[in-house]
């Protein structure tokens, strides 16, 4: 047998064994990862919705809506949204009032933005008093006519947030994702 044939046989065996090991590890870790992801999602839903007695899940036009009820009255709706950030896909959990006129809460589920700049959309380590200031400013924010942002100034309107200095693209991405999905989700729920 030639050296080339031996090399091909050895590399094929290594590839098959490696593939089998990876498949085995995947089958072991996938349920644990999915369970952890579901726990994170449930925590985010609870965080962005107002106080409630129960949550009902409804699927409409590609969205999974989580309706929060208090004494049989709808008090809020949450749903997961995503879109492009500066260098990663941003995945957010958004809570809104039943008529979609105000944001009740916003939570970032996933982001891989530029460390030290774009990551400030989730947690700003340089702001010791309020590391979550960027996300916190969305709570209670009006959504109509649309959400906007200002740079290097305090917001002056009920639909305005302050962008992060040095991470305007990431700040704008969050605003754009919200405006796009609020409009689409309202249409999915037949809200004008």
Q: Please check the confidence at residue 114 and state whether its pLDDT lies above 80.
A: no
pLDDT band with cut points at 50, 70 and 90 for residue 112: confident
Average pLDDT over residues 147-171: 89
pLDDT tens-digit map of 64-106: 999 999 999 999 999 999 998 888 899 999 999 999 999 999 9
CB-based burial, 15-49: b 16+ in 10 Å, e otherwise: eeeeeeeeeeeeeeeeeeeeeeeeeebeebbbebb
Q: How far is CA 179 from the centre of its chain?
A: 14
Domain ranges (residues) in the chain = 1-44, 49-188
Number of Cβ within a 10 Å radius of residue 179: 16
What is the reported pLDDT for 70? 94
Tens digit of pLDDT for each residue in 24-78?
Answer: 999 999 999 999 889 999 999 999 999 999 999 999 988 999 999 999 999 999 9
Would you give the DSSP letter of residue 85? -
């Amino acid at each position: 047998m030639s050296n080339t044939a031996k090399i091909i046989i050895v590399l094929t065996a290594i590839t098959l064994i490696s593939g089998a090991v990876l498949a085995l590890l995947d089958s072991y870790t996938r349920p644990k990862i999915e369970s952890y992801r579901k726990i994170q999602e449930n925590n985010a839903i609870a965080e962005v919705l107002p106080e409630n007695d129960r949550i009902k899940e409804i699927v409409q036009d590609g969205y999974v809506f989580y309706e929060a009820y208090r004494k049989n009255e709808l008090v809020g709706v949450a749903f997961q949204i995503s879109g492009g950030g500066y260098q990663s896909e941003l995945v957010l959990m958004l809570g809104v009032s039943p008529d979609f006129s105000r944001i009740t809460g916003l939570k970032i589920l996933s982001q891989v933005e530029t460390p030290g700049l774009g990551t400030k959309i989730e947690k700003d380590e340089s702001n010791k008093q309020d590391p979550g200031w960027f996300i916190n400013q969305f709570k209670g924010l009006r959504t109509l006519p649309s959400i906007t942002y200002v740079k290097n100034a305090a917001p002056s309107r009920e639909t305005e947030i302050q962008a992060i200095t040095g991470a305007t693209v990431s700040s704008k991405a969050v605003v754009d994702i919200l405006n796009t999905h609020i409009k689409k989700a309202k249409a999915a729920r037949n809200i004008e």
